[in-house]
Structure 1
Amino acid sequence: MASSLTCTGVIWTLLSLLCAAASCVGFFMPYWLLGTQMDKPVSFGTFRRCSYPVRDEEKQATVMLEQCGRYASFNGIPSLEWRICTVVTGVGCGLLLLVALTALMGCCISDLISRTIGRVAGGIQFVGEFTMGKLFQS
């Protein structure tokens, strides 16, 4: 199994995989905001939510549904800002995964990653991290 990466490139690949995995897990987990509502613990993120209020038509009251799930539709996300955050964070995760998987293939295939492709991949990683980093600073 020939590699087109140096020792530094292999370390970059492993760190890229770890970063992409952590970013994707953080994106899909609903633990961005934690709190309580109607004396129940609730949490939500841009993509999913846990323990949320629903209208019970039989009792004509609002009850807490104690389960996790994603929003029923894109418009079901509570605000425009959260929708934008969902799209931008998803794009950032996709870019990180693209670079990490390409780098992983470079560990197995000789002459796949040249110096120029490595620089472009680093730039793509920067854009992916920058978009997600700017969101978390807000």
Structure 2
Amino acid sequence: MPKRIPIETAKSVAQKHDLHQVLLIGWDGALTHVVTYGATPHDCALAAKAQDFWTGKIREFSFRDGDASPWRRDLFVDESEDVGVKLSHFADAIQTYVMMQQGRRVCVRELASVFNTDRRTVLDAIDAGYWLYTTGDGADDTKHFVGVDGE
């Protein structure tokens, strides 16, 4: 395995698939190899941010056997960032998941399990979600249900 992935490889992927930004990540069994490419200087900067996020925030979850560590509240990036997983993204994911259950009640404990996180992170995302709300027993996460309000 080469010491690094050549930038030309990322550029080739971008051109072949008409992409503005590319982030290639490889694992050789011992080391992680990362290269970015951006079609413009702005795209280069955003691709570099993606690499910084990946190497700093989620790398610990990738290329691992077994269960991933739970997603923690501190792993979300600030809402002003261009790249990364934001709390608002998680709120949107919860909203989508709840709506896709087609009326089946979804509790906080289920969401924590489905999204591999803890109850506090789920509740923070619900608080951040404009259309999300909870009902039921806040002391028992199996009876603390999540709803979506909207038209």
TM (normalized to structure 2)?
Answer: 0.23
Question: Which structure exhibits the higher relative contact order, with contacts defined as CA atoms closer than 8 Å and separated by 6 or more residues?
Answer: 1
